[in-house]
Chains A and B, each alone.
Chain A
Amino acid sequence: MDLELMINSFPRLLNATVVTLKLLSLSLFFGLFIGLLFAVMRMSNNLILNRFAYGYSYLFRGTPLLVQIFIIYFGFGQIEFIRNSILWVILKEPYWCAIIAFALNTGAYTSEILRSAFQTIKKGYIEAGKSLGISSKIIFYKIQIPIAIRQSLPAYGNEIILMLKGTSLASTVTLMDLTGVAKYIISTTFKPIEVFIVAGSIYLFMTFAIHNFIKFLEKKYSY
Chain B
Amino acid sequence: MNIFKKTIISVLASLFIMTNVYSDTIKIGTEGAYPPWNSKDASGKLIGFEVELAWTLCRYIGKQCEIVEQDWDGMIPALLMRKFDAIMAGMSITDERLKTINFSQGYADEVAQLAVMKGSDLEGIDTPSGINLSIGGGAVKKALKTIEGALAGKTVCVQTATIHQNFLDSGDVGSVNVRTYKTQDEVNLDLASGRCDVALAAAVAFTDYAEKSGKPVVLVGPTFSGGAFGNGVGVGIRKGGSGAIGERDAQLLKDFNMAINKARKNGDISRIATKWFGFDASM
A86 to B157 alpha-carbon distance, docked (Å): 24
In the assembled complex, 20 residue pairs joining A and B whose CB atoms fall closer than 8 Å, in A order, are: A74-B190, A77-B189, A77-B195, A78-B189, A83-B193, A92-B194, A174-B157, A174-B179, A174-B181, A183-B73, A184-B160, A184-B180, A186-B77, A187-B73, A187-B160, A187-B165, A190-B76, A190-B80, A190-B100, A191-B77
Instruction: From B160, B181, B193, name the one whose CB has the most chain A CB atoms within 10 angstroms.
Output: B193
Interface of A is mostly: helix
The total number of A-B Cβ pairs within 8 Å is 41
A172 to B160 alpha-carbon distance, docked (Å): 11
B190 cross-chain contacts in A, Cβ below 8 A = 74, 77
Residues 20-39 of A at the B interface (beta carbon under 8 Å): none
Q: Which 4 A-B pairs have the closest CB atoms?
A: A187-B161, A77-B193, A190-B76, A192-B77
A83: which of B160, B165, B194 is its contact (CB, 8 Å)? B194
A172: which of B179, B182, B194, B195 is its contact (CB, 8 Å)? B182
A188: which of B80, B96, B195 is its contact (CB, 8 Å)? B96
Against A, the Cβ 8 Å flags (1 = close, 0 = not) of B61-86 are 00000000000011011001000000
B186: interface (CB < 8 Å): yes
Known: A74-B186, A92-B195. A190 touches B180 (CB 8 A): no
**Closest A residue by C-beta to B157:** A174
**Closest B residue by C-beta to A189:** B100
Contacting pair B180 A174 (CB below 8 A): yes
Contacting pair B161 A188 (CB below 8 A): yes
Against A, the Cβ 8 Å flags (1 = close, 0 = not) of B104-122 are 0000000000000000000
Residues 148-204 of B at the A interface (beta carbon under 8 Å): 157, 160-161, 165, 179-182, 186, 189-190, 192-195
B192 cross-chain contacts in A, Cβ below 8 A = 78
B80 cross-chain contacts in A, Cβ below 8 A = 190
B74: which of A74, A78, A92, A192 is its contact (CB, 8 Å)? A192
B153 CB → nearest A CB, Å: 15
Instruction: From A174, A183, A186, name the one whose CB has the most chain B CB atoms within 10 angstroms.
Output: A174
A186 to B182 alpha-carbon distance, docked (Å): 13
A4 CB → nearest B CB, Å: 15
B193 cross-chain contacts in A, Cβ below 8 A = 77-78, 83
Residues 126-175 of A at the B interface (beta carbon under 8 Å): 172, 174
A190 to B73 alpha-carbon distance, docked (Å): 9
A184 cross-chain contacts in B, Cβ below 8 A = 160, 180
A188 to B100 alpha-carbon distance, docked (Å): 10
B146 CB → nearest A CB, Å: 27
**Closest A residue by C-beta to B181:** A174
A92 cross-chain contacts in B, Cβ below 8 A = 194-195
Against B, the Cβ 8 Å flags (1 = close, 0 = not) of A118-131 are 00000000000000
* Sample of 15 more A-B contacts, CB < 8 Å, known A74-B189, A172-B182, A183-B73: A74-B186, A77-B190, A77-B194, A83-B194, A92-B194, A94-B179, A174-B180, A174-B181, A184-B160, A184-B180, A186-B77, A187-B165, A188-B96, A190-B80, A192-B77
B157 cross-chain contacts in A, Cβ below 8 A = 174
A123 CB → nearest B CB, Å: 53
